[in-house]
A and B are shown apart, each in its own frame.
Chain A
């Protein structure tokens, strides 16, 4: 599967969800395909993308939060899966684009190209809703679930290696301020707000 095609499948379904993206390919893909104020892009702090998403999720239980993470970055911070599983924010979904390489640094193999399974790690960490869609139809169905059902979800999508198209915009402060303003302006009592547990 192609990562950008899967990103488009998600983007087409987005309304008022928050999306946090991992440095490198996930950030560049989403900038190119669906730049929007409720995206928070990361450009460094490898391993922290899904932790940031969780912090937003526990602070804004009325909003769904989707982390678009990568296999290399998730491998750097596997412990966070235990925190997510035990804290269990129902409005959080972690999607890992698993291309089995460190794409941004030149395509060096990661552990998921060998014996290691992130889905297996997530189950061991205590995550209950772990999805491994095998084709675009199943990816689309997985996205429907994370956008409509209580989580937390962990979705591993095996994608082809290869760099995202386009050039990345790295204006960290502008993106941060735009995101904070958009989130602050999102009323917690809007019709599409999640019921707060």
Chain B
């Protein structure tokens, strides 16, 4: 069961913190956030072909004075690792990552599991401060502070979204 209003809460937190450019390789879960961003004329959403391309794009936007967020599945985090390290961390270029957490509790697709189980430790290895809110209240308690920290510290931050927040994708 998804928490009521989770996707709008995330879209609103991103927007109220001045994030206007978004890159994504969509999945079923983050698309529920994207619905609000696609519908907002003040937000630009670019669908990229691979998640690390989104990091390049959003890094360029930051250099030009804009705040950006990357919305993806944790499989995309795997595709991003070297760019996070050698571009965002090395050059202190902040970005907000919103990552749906497949491959954890309730997962039906075995191919999702190894990356899903590794996701937290990959983020930790890159020294990326991560929030894993299980409720809308928990998300709201950390959201503004984590986004602010990204730009103060000039480092990426991540919201790793568990199934009990988003409802996940249960199917087979």
Contact = CB atoms under 8 A, between A and B. Distances in A.
A52 B48 contact: no
Interface string A102-125: 000000000000000000000000
B46 A83 contact: yes
A44 B48 CA distance: 20
A80 B87 contact: no
A68 B64 CA distance: 18
Interface string B79-113: 00011011100111100000000000000000000
B60 A52 contact: yes
B115 to A, nearest CB: 20
Contacts of B61: 55-56, 58-59
Interface stretch (B1-9, B50-58, B136-144): B50-58
Contacts of A142: none
A173 interface: yes
Contact of A179 (B63, B66, B87): B63
Contacts of A79: 48-50, 53
Interface in B2-46: 21, 44, 46
Nearest to A81: B49
Interface in A173-190: 173, 176, 179-180, 183-184
Given A172-B90, A176-B93, A58 B63 contact: no
A50 B52 CA distance: 12
Nearest to A183: B64
Interface residues on B, range: 20 to 34
A190 to B, nearest CB: 15
B145 interface: no
Contacts of A179: 63
B83 A48 contact: yes
Given A83-B48, A172-B90, A176-B93, A51 B65 contact: no
B65 A77 contact: no
Given A80-B53, A176-B93, A59 B48 contact: no
Given A45-B86, A87-B46, A172-B90, A77 B53 contact: yes
A47 B55 CA distance: 11
A60 B53 contact: no
B87 A42 contact: yes
Interface in A3-53: 20, 40, 42-53
A43 B85 CA distance: 12
A45 B60 contact: no
B46 A59 contact: no
B59 interface: yes
B138 to A, nearest CB: 31
B84 to A, nearest CB: 9
16 contacts: A44-B87, A45-B86, A45-B87, A51-B48, A51-B55, A52-B56, A52-B60, A53-B60, A54-B56, A55-B57, A55-B63, A58-B61, A59-B61, A77-B56, A83-B53, A83-B57
Interface of A: 20, 40, 42-60, 77, 79-80, 82-83, 87, 172-173, 176, 179-180, 183-184
